[in-house]
Amino acid sequence: MVTAFYSFYTEVDMNASSSDRAAVKSQLATAVYSDLETMMAAYAAAAVQLAREHYRQSLDFQPQSLDAFEAVLSDLTGVADLDVDYEVRLWGSYLGELIRLRYSGSWIMADYPGGQSLMPAVDVRGSHIFPLMKVYRRLQSGEQESIAAFFNLVSERLGQPIRAN
């Protein structure tokens, strides 16, 4: 599955320079996705590329990259003309893919607790994790909404990651 989104990712011109962020955004928004998982994986792959090219940070879907991820979110926090919906989808997809890959989860549309609308969530053995909401709160509230603390809490509750053969 990981290779599937990387092949899609290369079709969306991710070799664009950082000045072409709008083009990447447009390509992601207008692409036709076969399912939610494919869409979220494509956004996550775009986040990896933009982190490297625009923020000089290396993201690799491993917990060790969370400091770099936090650095990107810190750069975005408080930006006046930020397209919050897009940035939440982009960076929330990365966080979700990190969790999904680590715990062999899947993307689903689920009711957010206390809300009345469906939103993307990572399902891991019946637990629903809402990485886009966490990124939204991080962008709105700053470093007090620590991604690392969130990931540690998720890891404590989910236990050991799934090991590949």
Residue ranges of domains in the chain, CATH in brackets: 2-151 (1.20.120)
CB 150, CB 134: distance < 8 Å: yes
CB 122, CB 100: distance < 8 Å: yes
pTM score:
0.87
Phi, psi of 41 (to 5 degrees): -65, -40
CA distance 126 to 164: 20
Say which residue, 32 or 162, is predicted with more confidence: 32
Instruction: Give residue-wise pLDDT tens across range 14-39.
Output: 444 444 888 899 999 999 999 999 99
Q: Give the containing element (helix H, strand E) for 129.
A: strand 127-129
